[in-house]
A and B are shown apart, each in its own frame.
Chain A
Amino acid sequence: MKKILLLLILLASCSPLPQTPIAGTVDLDNLQPLPTPPDQQAVPLRVAIAAVISPKGTLESYSPFLSYLEAKLNRPIELVQRRTYLEVNDLIEHGEVDLAFVCTSAYVEGHNTFGMELLAAPQVDGKTTYNSYLIVPARSEAQSISDLRGKVFAFTDPISLSGRVYPTYLVHQLGFDPEAFFARTFFTYSHDEAIRAVAGGVADGAAVDSLVYEFALARDPSLAEKVRVIHVSPDFGIPPVVVSPFTRPQVKEELQSLLLDMANDPAARQALASMGVERFVLIDDSAYDGVRALMGVVPVSVSP
């Protein structure tokens, strides 16, 4: 009997493990062409959002807005993001997106190159202007841009006004090229990433969008212990909402009135709050003349 018992124990230990049931069988070598996605019923409205903040941050911030837009227009919305401002500008230029949130300098550039059209501007704290903040790590002793000589500097986007053009302008004022002034520079392609680079000590300094900075600070107050603002630029025209030259006038008008009415629509409150915007207002191209002047002084190369 003992032998039989032993045998049973042995057999029990050989039995298959108590494991996940097999979900199905598939032949991994049986490769077939992927089916083409089914045609969408309605033509989606394509919305581009320049990577002022990181793609993930953008998605989080703009999702409620896009959903609101979708509901209001009764039309699917497709979010399009690109790493650089210039790529977004390209999309607008060729009519591949209908609506775009662009950076100030990208608008100036796009308006200049292919006639990018202003639709509206967000109003934050009652203003339609913003600034470039020069930030350093909280423990840094730097008091001005001149103290950052020989340090590592993080640019945001190659054509960002607040993140590249303005700090370059400041360095030029000191009589240097950024490449010579800083030990090393790099692009983070978004402002929240630049803040993160400074907060993490990866960069000794960076220039960022004041709106993004305040928004980030509001969301994460502990940031104030890591990052310090040492310089505030003069006011610049706020990054606007634009349309492509190819956007149909009816659509343009519909979108414009929708944006302007958002402040009056309780359903839009969350969408606006998520973006950190009070309301959308009309804005004139002349609001960006100051920026044009600055960009005239600092020729911005597209590549670092």
Chain B
Amino acid sequence: MNLQTFLQRFWAIAGAVSIRTKILGIVLGFILLLGAGVTLQARYALTATMTAQLEEQSVSVSRDLAARAADPILLNDLLSLHDLLDETLANNPNVRYAFLMDENGQVIAHTFGGGFPLDLLPLNAAAPDEHHHTALIQTDEGLVWDTAVPILDGKIGTARIGLSDASMQMALSTLTAQLLLTIVFVSATGVLVAVFLTWILTRPILALVNATQAVAKGDFTRRVPRWADDEIGDLADAFNAMTAELAHTEELRRERESLRRQLMEKVIATQEDERRRIARELHDSTSQNLTSLIVGLRMMEAQCAHCPSPTKAADLRQVASHTLEEVHDLSMRLRPRVLDDLGLAAALERLAHEWQSRYKIPVDVVIQLDERLPGEIETALYRIVQEALTNIARHAQAKSASLLIEKRGGSVRAIVEDDGVGFDPSAQRGERHLGLLGMRERAELLGGALTIESSPNRGTSIFIEIPLLPQPSNLPTF
């Protein structure tokens, strides 16, 4: 496994855990590593020191024994020798055994009691001119430093003692246990510290996360407190600056949107006003003039029955009558008077009727309105339905269509359906798309919504819902 795979695997584990776990891991890992290092180093140092001490003690005790054993050996005072050995053993807890040999290597006295481990004898010896000779011996009870010291230059024998390292091992175990205990305590403290650190670290991060979510939902008022003077503090500052910038941008956007709406409303209002004026003009002035013209032509026709061109006058009257009808029709389409005078229901029924007779497509009209709607809603709905019917006539190749207007709760709902070829609403471009956009715009200007459901060969349904509640809109009534 190469280093990169190892690192990837490590990151797969380390990267998947939370910051809390990471910090805990860092703290605990560091404490454990340090603890292990210190324990090993302390054990090493203690072992070195105690080994040297043991060796030194081994030498000094055996030198002492050799010096004190000389007289009793010379005097053949075995009791004193035994007492001396017992004393040596009692006064030096580390001494595992002590024994004395005569110059021929015969054991004179020893501390083993019943017998003697004969294997011990050849393992260490001191030459007569040696100060001492120490050998390390492996026993069933652990390591033993065996020191041999010649008595009176070896003339009368050798003293040997064995120092067990049991006390050293005990000290090592005690030290290790204490250090491990310390590590456990420090680790526990470390965990607490890490939890606290995590809290300190993650608190601003969580605050940032919450604020980010709020901003994502459009709440630009949220600000993150700067907890600390560190990188996260900088991040908080940057975030706050960004949010402020976003809020500013959003405000600008809203202003523009508002302006655009006002402009749009103005345009629509102006358009409606203009249409209404032209329609009235057409109806009042142009129609009157045409009627006068027709009456004049009829009189002229009657007065000069013998004129060479009575048929001419009849023809002209015919043209004038036709023009009058067209003017009526135009006026009607520009702004049906019935919409202003009788309301949406009558206007739509008439629109549907005319549309049906013009395009020969049957329309099922259901209008359930018990009272007049606000003027702007009537106008908007009338125009939307007008556009929808125009679209059906132009594109749908429908066999039938239906129109439903109903007041439901606090809103008015309109559904225009056909059984035509349908289309993909999301893929609309061009003039038709602009028409659809206009319909939606009108609905939205009044706080309403327009939904188109259609797919190729499945017909088209247009749902319009406009609330009747007073709108926070500065739309003028038209």
Contact = CB atoms under 8 A, between A and B. Distances in A.
Nearest to B120: A26
Interface centre among B76, B96, B114, B162 (most CB of A within 10 A): B76
Contacts of B115: 31-34
Given A28-B97, A30-B119, A35-B118, 9 more contacts: A17-B47, A17-B48, A17-B51, A24-B123, A30-B117, A54-B71, A56-B71, A80-B76, A81-B74
Nearest to B80: A83
B457 interface: no
A49 B456 CA distance: 140
Contacts of B44: 13-14, 17
A29 interface: yes
Interface in B92-124: 96-97, 104, 106-107, 112-120, 122-124
Interface stretch (B131-139, B203-211, B290-298): B131-139
Interface centre among A63, A80, A83 (most CB of B within 10 A): A83
B136 A20 contact: yes
A24 B119 contact: yes
B40 interface: yes
Interface residues of A, number: 34
Interface of B: 36-37, 40-41, 44, 47-48, 51, 70-71, 74-77, 96-97, 104, 106-107, 112-120, 122-124, 134-141, 143-144, 146, 152, 155-156, 162
B63 to A, nearest CB: 15
28 contacts: A10-B36, A13-B40, A14-B40, A22-B138, A23-B124, A24-B119, A25-B119, A26-B123, A26-B139, A26-B140, A28-B96, A28-B97, A28-B120, A29-B117, A29-B140, A31-B113, A31-B114, A31-B117, A32-B115, A33-B115, A34-B107, A34-B118, A35-B118, A37-B106, A56-B74, A59-B156, A81-B75, A82-B75
B155 A24 contact: no
A80 to B, nearest CB: 7
Contacts of B156: 59
Contacts, number: 109
Nearest to B134: A20
Interface string A58-75: 110001000000000000
Given A23-B137, A83-B75, A56 B152 contact: yes
Given A30-B117, A37-B106, A55 B70 contact: yes
Contacts of B143: 22
Contact of B146 (A10, A19, A23, A54): A23
